[in-house]
């Protein structure tokens, strides 16, 4: 009899524990469902460096806990009045301009981020994202070869090209070469690989020949200009 009573007690304890666990799971599911029912509207105004509303700008939204995975929750291009609208369920979000298209460094990406928590149903938020200096709604052009980047450099039009090269230890490394655009009457060029190189060229010096020597394609006898202009 005592043995049966002990078995009965253990069985009841297992049942109670199972019920308690089920209640916890059920409560978590109910809370998640409640959060999913919450919806807010985010209105993002995209402006240029001077603060003027700019249409045709790509705005991205990430769920905060999935940002590091690179999973984008939503993408919109701003309308003619420079506004991008998002309907967001409950949760935490990161909002920014499309990173590869508009920024030249990770620091710029981080500085531009907007954080938003959606907690109450029917809320509406207004936020502003500003394009970096010299960058238009079209963003950086993505070149596929040096010829393309040389043309962009000669005109100081924002563009990017990524190639594979080797470092001082003869190990493969990706290098991104960028024509960032005009900064204080000088054309900003940047190369990021095993090291970082920043250059600021006078308008009168810009040419495809200078680009060829700068990017290591050909020797055009213009090293003095490069040495004077690069850090």
Over residues 40-89, the pLDDT tens digits come to 899 999 999 889 999 999 999 999 999 988 899 999 999 999 999 999 99
Residue 19 has what pLDDT?
55
Q: Do the Cβ atoms of 128 and 114 come closer than 8 Å?
A: no
Strand-pairing partners, residue 161, are: 177
3-state DSSP call for residue 42?
A: strand
SS3 content of the chain, % helix, strand, coil (to 5): 35, 35, 30
What distance in Å separates the CA atoms of residue 25 and residue 35, rounded to the nearest whole number? 15
Domains for the chain: give ranges and CATH numbers: 38-130 (2.60.40.1120), 141-229 (no CATH)
Identify the weakest region by mean pLDDT among 49-63, 159-173, 182-196, 217-231: 159-173
| DSSP type of residue 230 | B
More confident residue, 189 or 16: 189
Provide the 10 A C-beta neighbour count for residue 141.
16
Please, are residues 88 and 75 in contact by the beta-carbon 8 Å criterion? Answer: no
Q: Distance (Å, rounded) from C-alpha 157 to C-alpha 141?
A: 8
pLDDT in tens, 1-19: 545 565 556 656 655 655 5
Q: Pick the closest to residue 165 from 183, 177, 150 (CA basis).
A: 177
φ, ψ (nearest 5 deg) of residue 25: -60, -45
Query: Which range has highest mean pLDDT (22-26, 96-100, 167-171, 214-218)?
Result: 96-100
Q: Which residues contact 42 (CB under 8 A, 6 or more apart)?
A: 61, 85, 86, 87, 88, 93, 95, 116, 124, 125, 127
pTM strictly above 0.75: no
d(CA 227, CA 231) in angstroms, rounded, equals: 8
The string of DSSP letters for 88-107 reads EESEEEEEEE-HHHH-SSHH
Tokens at 61, concatenated: 């939204």
């Amino acid at each position: 009899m005592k043995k049966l009573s002990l078995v009965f007690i253990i069985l009841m304890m297992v049942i109670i524990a199972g019920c308690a666990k089920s209640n916890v799971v059920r409560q978590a599911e109910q809370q998640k469902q409640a959060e999913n029912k919450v919806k807010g509207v985010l209105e993002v105004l995209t402006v240029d460096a001077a603060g003027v509303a700019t249409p045709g700008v790509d705005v991205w939204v990430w769920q905060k806990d999935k940002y590091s995975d690179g999973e984008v929750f939503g993408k919109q291009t701003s309308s003619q009045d420079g506004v991008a609208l998002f309907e967001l369920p409950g949760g935490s979000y990161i909002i920014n301009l499309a990173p590869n298209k508009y920024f030249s460094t990770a620091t710029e990406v981080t500085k531009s981020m907007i954080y938003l928590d959606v907690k109450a149903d029917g809320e509406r938020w207004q936020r502003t994202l500003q394009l970096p200096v010299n960058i238009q709604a079209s963003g950086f052009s993505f070149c596929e070869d040096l010829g393309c980047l040389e043309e962009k450099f000669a005109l100081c039009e924002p563009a990017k090209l990524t190639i594979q090269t080797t470092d001082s230890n003869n190990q493969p490394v990706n290098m991104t070469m960028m024509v960032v655009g005009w900064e204080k009457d000088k054309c900003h060029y940047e190369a990021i690989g095993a090291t970082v190189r920043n250059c600021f060229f006078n308008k009168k010096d810009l040419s495809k020949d200078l680009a060829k020597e700068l990017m290591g394609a050909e020797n055009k006898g213009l090293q003095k200009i490069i040495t004077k202009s690069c850090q």
